[in-house]
Structure 1
Amino acid sequence: MELVSVAALSSNRVIGNDGELPWPSIPADKEQYRARISESPIILGRVTFESMLDDLPGTEQIVLSRTEKTFSVPTAHHAGTVAEAIEYGEHLGSETIYVIGGGKIYELFQPYVDQMVLSRVHGEYEGDSYYPEWDASDWEILTKTEYDRFTLEEWQRK
């Protein structure tokens, strides 16, 4: 099983501001993001899960939470720790599980992810949530594709 972190971040690593994207919608990014994760399980934090309830991505959601233990969505499963989330993901038997945020979740899973798929939104934005820094010497970039307003980068851990 591979863990893949998927995120959209500005050049100053901002991923969110008060629970929202800090930049105007980028339809091409949303489309590639949804297509990528739609047929796989995802790992996300409770706040991110709650913000997506009207349009949940992924086939199953592994929700990392210290407080909520059950969810009204039948495809949502609780994990209290990173280890529990990974163990449950392995139990599902999927080749790939996507880590989709928020900021603290990306930080907790950064040591465990095998790949990163990053939409690098052009420009700097104000925000209160950031994608974690990583040591570039531990990673190699596999692809870099230019789009209007963002660059899609795919990274593999060495």
Structure 2
Amino acid sequence: MIKLIWAQTKTGVIGKNNQLAWSIDQELQHFRKATWNKDIIMGRKTFASLNFQPLKNRFNYILTSDPEKYQVYQNRYDNLIFINDVKPIIAKYANNPDNELFVIGGKIIYEIFLDSADQIIRSIVKKDYQGDIYISELDLNKFQKISEEDFDEFYIERWVRK
């Protein structure tokens, strides 16, 4: 099962200078809880924003055009692999409820996986933050919103493929 998970403002901001444009502890806790002990995939820039360290207690796939360039990191961590082809990943996880993969960014990685996603978990930050990275306008016509959970500074929408 492929799940896209991200936080954005109402205007679509998802980042600033390759970092989150906000710091909301409760939203980060939501992300941690959702992805804990799961497999995740991110792009090279997102990995760089994490100081080139994989997220703990998760298996980390890093999508890059040049996996060999990052071999030193792969040798350092046992929960990390660099890949340049998403087809085997999609084949392994799509429509497979026993095997979850969370797509955690960035923008291009979300675009790559949208057509294969089974679910979307989207946090909408209520305050308007300035940023330089925006989520693309997504066509959610193939998805149905199944829930919305409200918190002080954000709310979470959960969508499933129709």
Mark the runs of 5 or more structure 1 residues left unpaired by the alignment.
Answer: none
Q: Is the 8 A contact 2:2 2:93 kept in 1?
A: no
Q: In structure 2, what is the equivalent of residue 136 of structure 1?
A: 140
State how 1:39-54 maps to structure 2 within 5 Å: 39-52=37-50, 53-54=52-53
Seen in structure 2, the aligned counterparts of structure 1 residues 19 and 74 have a Cα distance that, compared at 3 Å, is same
Q: How far, CA to CA, are the matches of 1:12 and 1:81 in structure 2?
A: 31
**How far did 1:36 drift?**
0.8
Q: In structure 1, what is the equivalent of residue 116 of structure 2?
A: 112
Seen in structure 2, the aligned counterparts of structure 1 residues 58 and 11 have a Cα distance that, compared at 3 Å, is farther
**What amino acid sits opposite 1:119 in the alignment?**
S
**What amino acid sits opposite 1:62 in the alignment?**
Y
**What value does the CA root-mean-square deviation take over the aligned residues?**
2.0
Q: In structure 1, what is the equivalent of residue 152 of structure 2?
A: 148
Mark the runs of 5 or more structure 2 residues left unpaired by the alignment.
Answer: none
1:14-47 deviation per Cα after TM superposition (whole angstroms, max 9, x unaligned) = 1101111112x11111111101101110011112
Q: How far, CA to CA, are the matches of 1:101 and 1:110 in structure 2?
A: 11
**How far did 1:126 drift?**
2.3
**How far did 1:51 drift?**
2.1
**How far did 1:157 drift?**
1.1
**What amino acid sits opposite 2:2 in the alignment?**
L
Q: How far, CA to CA, are the matches of 2:123 and 2:20 in structure 1?
A: 13
- Number of residue-to-residue matches in the alignment: 154
Q: Normalized against structure 2, the TM-score is what? A: 0.85
Q: Normalized against structure 1, the TM-score is what? A: 0.87
